[in-house]
Amino acid sequence: MALAQSKTTPAATVAAPAPASQYAWLSAGQYNAKQTLAARFAPPVGAARVPAPAGSFGAWLRYLPLLPAGAAVHLHNGQLKNPQTVHAAVVRIDVGSRDLQQCADAVIRLRAEYLFGQNPDKVHFHLTSGHDIWFSDWYAGKGFRVTGEEVESVAKAVEQPTHAVFRRYLDQIFTYAGTRSVEREMQPAALATLQPGDAFIKGGSPGHAVLVLDVSMNPQTGKRYFLLAQSYMPAQEIHVLRNLQNPKLSPWYELDEKTWLETPEWSFTPTQLRRF
């Protein structure tokens, strides 16, 4: 199924991108300004991207690096996701080799990478048990062990806050966090105030989470539109979702406060919006 392309809007509606150095998982020279969310997906006709303050999570998400158009979504083991019909683009970020970076973990991953680029010592996430695990404690030698329902502090090697160390920290978070903990980590938000960096979350087992990457608005009609990203089960590359309900608008979704949000692999109620 061919992806419907949005028509372009004036370049002036797009704020200055975040520095390439803010996407710390990329090797030198890998960041391509022509392969970013903002460059690839113009807002719907008549709409413009909503302002995103410089240095904000929303501004950072707007310039996420993408793999070239047509890239497939791969699982953590290198196999292809089934189906391949739900994505409009693939985020250029690793998924790891273990079945860890699933739906809620993708929200954690992108939020954590943003914070890491701002200041590694700002990074912390709660486990499903409720324990708050700070990266600054973890690399300073304070690890943790989970036994059943119990979480205890254990000593570990003191390390430097490099990105490689950060990735190992995240794998531990992914192992013991999920939709329930991320739902609690974030605050309820009114759908009418939707902004980049919000997430639709249904905590539980099963549960799911999708991240709002960008928001645009038509100033004449007041209609608001948004882009979504997800990972899924098993762990797979983070991808921008198509709008299968409205292929002409895809990959943008139109905000409707009265109906459920229908994404390709999950449905969310209007009350399931959360914000960091």
Are 103 and 228 in contact, with CB atoms under 8 Å apart?
no
Q: What angle do CA 27, 60, 125 make, to 5 degrees?
A: 90
Token digits for 252?
Answer: 């943008």
Name the DSSP letter for residue 231: -
Tell me whether residue 181 is in a domain.
Answer: yes
Are 81 and 235 in contact, with CB atoms under 8 Å apart?
no
Are 125 and 200 in contact, with CB atoms under 8 Å apart?
no
Token digits for 135?
Answer: 């990266």
Helix (H, G, I), strand (E, B) or coil at 12: helix
Tell me whether residue 261 is in a domain.
Answer: yes
pLDDT of residue 115: 98
Tell me whether residue 152 is in a domain.
Answer: yes
Pairing of strands 253-254, 132-134: unpaired
pLDDT of residue 15: 55
Residue-wise pLDDT tens for the chain (276 aa)? 333 333 333 333 445 667 778 999 999 899 999 999 999 999 999 999 999 999 999 999 999 999 999 999 999 999 999 999 999 999 999 999 999 999 999 999 999 999 999 999 999 999 999 999 999 999 999 999 999 889 999 999 999 999 999 999 999 999 999 999 999 999 999 999 999 999 999 999 899 999 999 999 999 999 999 999 999 999 999 999 999 999 999 999 999 999 999 999 999 999 999 999
Tell me whether residue 212 is in a domain.
Answer: yes
Are 228 and 253 in contact, with CB atoms under 8 Å apart?
yes
- Count of structural domains within the chain: 1
H-run or E-run covering 164 = helix 163-176
From the number of C-beta atoms within 10 Å of its C-beta (0-12, 13-18, 19+), residue 215 rates as: buried
Distance CA 157, CA 143 (A): 9
DSSP line for 179-219: HHHHHHHSEE--GGG--TT-EEEE-SSS-EEEEEEEEEE-T
Range of the domain at 115: 42-275
DSSP line for 107-157: HHHHHHHHHHHH-GGG-EEE-TTS-EEEHHHHHTTEEEEEETTEEEEEE--
Q: Which residues contact 30 (CB under 8 A, 6 or more apart)?
A: 65, 92
pLDDT of residue 156: 97
Are 21 and 117 in contact, with CB atoms under 8 Å apart?
yes
Distance CA 273, CA 194 (A): 8
Helix (H, G, I), strand (E, B) or coil at 230: strand
Tell me whether residue 106 is in a domain.
Answer: yes
What residue has token string 């938000």? 189
Tell me whether residue 24 is in a domain.
Answer: no
Tell me whether residue 31 is in a domain.
Answer: no
Tell me whether residue 264 is in a domain.
Answer: yes
